[in-house]
Structure 1
Amino acid sequence: MVELIQAQAERNPQATAVRLGNTSLTYRELERRSNQIAHHLIGLGAGQDIPVGVCLRRGADLLPVLLGIWKSGAGYVPLDPDHPVERLRHMIGTSGCRLVISRTGHLPALEPTPGCRFLLLDRERADVDGAPATPPATRIEPSHLAYVIYTSGSTGAPKGVLVQHGGLRNYLLWTVQAYAARGHGGAPFFASLAFDLGIPSLYTPLLTGQPVHLLPDPLPAADLGDALAAGAPYSFVKLTPGQLNLLSFDLDPEQAHGLAGIVIAAGDAFPTALARRWRDLAGPGGTPVATEYGPTEITIGNSGQPITDDPGTELVPLGLPIPNTTMYVLTDQLEPTPVGVAGEIHIGGLGVARGYLGDPALTADRFRPDPFGAPGARLYRSGDLGRWLPDGTLEFLGRVDHQVKIRGYRVELGEIRAVLRDDPQVRDAVVLATGTPSRPRGLAAFVIAATGQPMDVDRLRAGLAARLPDHMIPADFVAVDEIPLTANGKVDTRTLLTLL
């Protein structure tokens, strides 16, 4: 991808590549800075398949750093400065990072990490600026590591997904036609770097000579509508259904009408009622809405399409596979299910990730040989349930396991439960998602106290907050004497949810 962005810099060097408030970077400046960072990183030992951590807020350094890492031959590991200290250190340690790019203010949350060197941009600016401004002589192959992104893990610790350049390139080239071609205004980036939903907002504009608009960091949810409206019109805006729901109340019809060439809702179940509400708000000829679907393990998105008609289902169907990818609904024996019969969604093609970092057993379980593809091809078991409808669309029916989406983030309920069980005042706990697929979800923790004493909810929250990001903290804590079970020995979730 870097060579395509470099071509834009050669074609339109003075065009705006990155905009942040009243400051901006031209394509020429982006190219120069990213080359200098790449040379400096190579001097520090960066190279092919070497993970380099990035702990930065949205700012003028962000895109030069990310592109510079790729130009050095390395892949990046996004580290959200707002995540708990323990989580950040776990990611640095398990990813094998020997180099993390950050700033002085974030250093207390990252140290101590033995064997890891920190490149602090506010301290070492002169060294970086003294590096050559020409592109380094590195070659990026489709099989090379692009990034390691961590998702929630069922064992109590997040797991890293190894994403390769070939899958990323295939996806981004699709977004160029599906999204960026709908205008000239670029896209706003306001997601966490550790959330792959925002990746097309970072790179797709640069592939087409358009600007990336970095919105303020932090950006409270209540301010999102005003921040987006101030920079409109965009070519596209990609967000979660929950964020689209906020915009449908925060924007007036004129703002919604002219917001972008298209708005894409992804990262969670997308209620048809919400799509209908947005279309009514934007009005005829206004900003259209689209859906996109895809787990992290298949490189951001695997299917999507604009929503032009009411599909007649509670949730918007998942759309059509993008080029060079496949989607199947299969039984446990990897046999295709008939139309209308539920099964697990399996995904194949160029986007399938390399696997899970340091976990060959889990990789073998979730990434299986593709019985329908070429020799060596693999299918990813998504854990999502779906069924084909008579009109050829794929309907989403929920999760096979206990993994859910909260505010667009994928959450393994077992990870929260494992952290709760580490608290000395907890004997056992169960964490459940509340709500329905078509309504905003929350989390509730049902806790058996270890001592029989009333549980200290504030202490439980504080303990979780020290190890988990905010979206994984339950909104409700309910004290129970026992965890009810069904006749077959499984947790009786229906009974627990009646206690709320």
Structure 2
Amino acid sequence: MAGLLPRFRDAVRRAPERIAVRDTASALTFAELDRRTAALAGALRAHGVGRGDRVGVALGRGTDLVVALLAVWRTGAAYVPLDPAYPADRLAFMAGDAAIRALVSATTPGWLPAGAVVVAPDADGPSAADTAGSDLDPAYVIYTSGSTGRPKGVPAHHGAVAALVAALEQAGMYAGEPRVVAWNASVSFDASVQQWARVCRGDTVVVLDDAHRTDPAALVAWLADCGVTDLDLTPSHWTALREHLLDRPLRLFVGGEPIPEPMWRELAESRLEALNLYGPTESTVDATATWITGPGGPHIGVPLAGIRAHVLDDALRPAPSGELYLSGPRLSAGYLGRPGLTAERFVPDPFGPPGSRRYRTGDEVRWSDGGTLEFTGRLDRQVKLRGHRIELGEIEAVLREAPGVAAAAVVVRDDRLIAYHVGGEDPRATAERKLPEHMVPAAFVRLESLPRTPNGKLDTAALPEPETAGGPAPSGPVEELIADVWAEVLGRDGVGADDDFFALGGHSLVALRVVARLKKNFGVPVSTKDVYRHPRLADLAKHVSALATS
């Protein structure tokens, strides 16, 4: 058996009645999880799924999701996460690009590729031994943003996932068992792997649902109720949770984007055990790590076991500062069906054994005097925004598909994506139809032409700030209360009825605070998606009023 499956079998034998996974509605012991995953694996095998196949998983957040992912591994196949919240166009592309043989889902979606079958998460199939495979067989394929306008699949093999867990154990990050880990990350992102797969080493996995992930107070209360010991979050998410977490006996795994210096100091001085983790999807989640302790500023630490780090200058010579290259047995084999892009990013490694490769991260780093790596910036147009890896070129390519749009540019300002377009009326609808929520720009600005520097490059400094609507004052108690909430969380003196939340500086994590306040004041099931769908204050007020009377 490949990868982590032998460790899962050991965990079942050691403590069959221990809780393996739970959500707000249900819990499964290790024995029950073993039975459920074996049954679903049997159903998948009955539909022809086997070693080397790829199986899509499109389920909401809950115990069924863990069952599905583990069941796919027991067939010898690789799972492909297909978040039901993503636009249908994007899901159709990923499912087709990955050539999934089956889809684990509670429904039959319209984007299902021809020839693929749907298997329910509670399906029961003939019992059989786990399919024996190689550590080099793919365990999953996760899609990341692509600079050419379409996402790219990154496979990781079973041996790499098992080596990741072993490396984190070796670094002392899982010391003190038993652990109870919160699964906080989206299954579509690689950070989810080192969260849900902890069940294979005998840890309890607590699946955070969308309701708790959007309500900081409810989230922290539930973590306490479940006895969570380990929480993985992004620095941006910390800002929404910090006041609730600072006095908690937790181990924090922080990653996904650079840590600001004030946050670093705060964590170093707190009672929390905090770890900073860095790594691109191509290196199987985490490549470097460090404990956040003592004096000094932010850094990304040293390579974990199974990873070698090289800092090279433009001539590919070792240097104190330059581009970070990663190599070692945990590297991905490349991009699914993209040999050209694979050759561009995975280049020969002269420092390793014959035939080995190193991955060009595009991250600019430097070696500190203490022998740790410090992140200093990007060498391309990839950005990390609230933990999401985003290629601005992909968003621009989608916007150019909007009716009448002749040119488009996207930049990051104040932690927001701002889109500028030439021609077209409003490309937002096209963006929402083709891009996941975290890639839809917060504001759209129509220009006669894109400003250029003398050498023809986009002059980002000359791009105007989005205008706020202003206009009439809020009218009625609902509009007025929402305006007060916006003014408080955005740090503004006043907000108009026609103002746009995102144009005023809002983003998804600020929206968390807005939603929590609205739930408390109105007692309605408002969500961050509602803020995205109704960014104009007057429109959001109408929606909240409708929820209150429904």
Name which of 254, 257, 262 aligns with 2:247: 257
User: How far apart, CA to CA, are the structure 1 residues paired with 2:314 and 2:368?
Assistant: 20
1:448: which partner in 2? 422
Deviations 1:340-385 (A, max 9, x none): x3x1110011221011011101001100111111112110000111
2:456: which partner in 1? 489
Secondary structure of 1:149's partner?
Answer: strand
Paired residues of 1:154 and 1:415 also in contact (CA < 8 A) = yes
User: How far apart, CA to CA, are the structure 1 residues paired with 2:274 and 2:339?
Assistant: 39
User: How far apart, CA to CA, are the structure 2 residues paired with 1:468 and 1:444?
Assistant: 15
Deviations 1:145-201 (A, max 9, x none): 010100001111111011111111111122335332245341011221101112211
Report whether the alignment pairs 1:203 with 2:206. Answer: no
Paired residues of 1:145 and 1:164 also in contact (CA < 8 A) = yes
User: How far apart, CA to CA, are the structure 2 residues paired with 1:494 and 1:384?
Assistant: 23
1:126-145 alignment runs, 5 A limit: 128-132=123-127, 135-136=129-130, 138-145=131-138
Paired residues of 1:76 and 1:148 also in contact (CA < 8 A) = yes
Paired residues of 1:38 and 1:72 also in contact (CA < 8 A) = yes
User: How far apart, CA to CA, are the structure 2 residues paired with 1:67 and 1:205?
Assistant: 10
Secondary structure of 2:31's partner?
Answer: helix
User: How far apart, CA to CA, are the structure 2 residues paired with 1:217 and 1:396?
Assistant: 31
Name which of 469, 477, 483 aligns with 2:436: 469
Secondary structure of 1:35's partner?
Answer: helix
TM-score w.r.t. length of structure 1: 0.88
Paired residues of 1:192 and 1:198 also in contact (CA < 8 A) = yes
2:109: which partner in 1? 108
1:308-323 alignment runs, 5 A limit: 308-312=293-297, 316-323=298-305
2:496: which partner in 1? none
Letter in 1 for 2:263: L
Task: State the 1:430 CA deviation.
Answer: 0.2
1:140-289 alignment runs, 5 A limit: 140-177=133-170, 178-207=172-201, 209-221=202-214, 223-232=215-224, 233-249=227-243, 251=244, 255-260=245-250, 262-280=251-269, 283=270, 286-289=271-274
Task: State the 1:482 CA deviation.
Answer: 1.5
Task: State the 1:229 CA deviation.
Answer: 3.5
Letter in 2 for 1:237: L
Report whether the alignment pairs 1:293 with 2:278. Answer: yes
Task: State the 1:231 CA deviation.
Answer: 2.4
User: How far apart, CA to CA, are the structure 2 residues paired with 1:371 and 1:156?
Assistant: 32
Letter in 2 for 1:410: R
Change (3 A) 1:259 1:468: farther
User: How far apart, CA to CA, are the structure 2 residues paired with 1:290 and 1:130?
Assistant: 42
Name which of 309, 313, 316 aligns with 1:327: 309
Task: State the 1:225 CA deviation.
Answer: 4.4
Change (3 A) 1:423 1:273: same
Change (3 A) 1:108 1:68: closer
User: How far apart, CA to CA, are the structure 2 residues paired with 1:493 and 1:238?
Assistant: 34
Letter in 1 for 2:87: P
Letter in 1 for 2:281: T
Aligned length: 461
Deviations 1:184-241 (A, max 9, x none): 341011221101112211112430x2210012235453x1443234223433211111
Task: State the 1:95 CA deviation.
Answer: 0.4
Higher mean alpha-carbon deviation, 291-300 vs 481-490, is at 481-490
Secondary structure of 2:155's partner?
Answer: strand
Letter in 2 for 1:129: D
Change (3 A) 1:379 1:489: same
Secondary structure of 1:181's partner?
Answer: coil
User: How far apart, CA to CA, are the structure 2 residues paired with 1:299 and 1:86?
Assistant: 27
Paired residues of 2:40 and 2:125 also in contact (CA < 8 A) = no
Paired residues of 2:21 and 2:199 also in contact (CA < 8 A) = no
User: How far apart, CA to CA, are the structure 1 residues paired with 2:441 and 2:428?
Assistant: 8
Task: State the 1:298 CA deviation.
Answer: 0.6
Letter in 2 for 1:26: T
TM-score w.r.t. length of structure 2: 0.80
Secondary structure of 2:193's partner?
Answer: helix
Name which of 21, 39, 52 aligns with 1:49: 52
Deviations 1:2-57 (A, max 9, x none): 11011010111111101112521010111111112222222211122211000011
Report whether the alignment pairs 1:60 with 2:63. Answer: yes
Deviations 1:363-422 (A, max 9, x none): 011001111111121100001111112221211111111010122111110110011001
1:357: which partner in 2? 336
Paired residues of 1:175 and 1:204 also in contact (CA < 8 A) = no
Paired residues of 1:325 and 1:347 also in contact (CA < 8 A) = yes
Task: State the 1:245 CA deviation.
Answer: 1.6
Paired residues of 1:156 and 1:418 also in contact (CA < 8 A) = yes
Secondary structure of 1:17's partner?
Answer: strand
Letter in 2 for 1:442: R
1:385: which partner in 2? 364
Secondary structure of 1:114's partner?
Answer: coil
Higher relative contact order (CA 8 A, sep 6+): 1
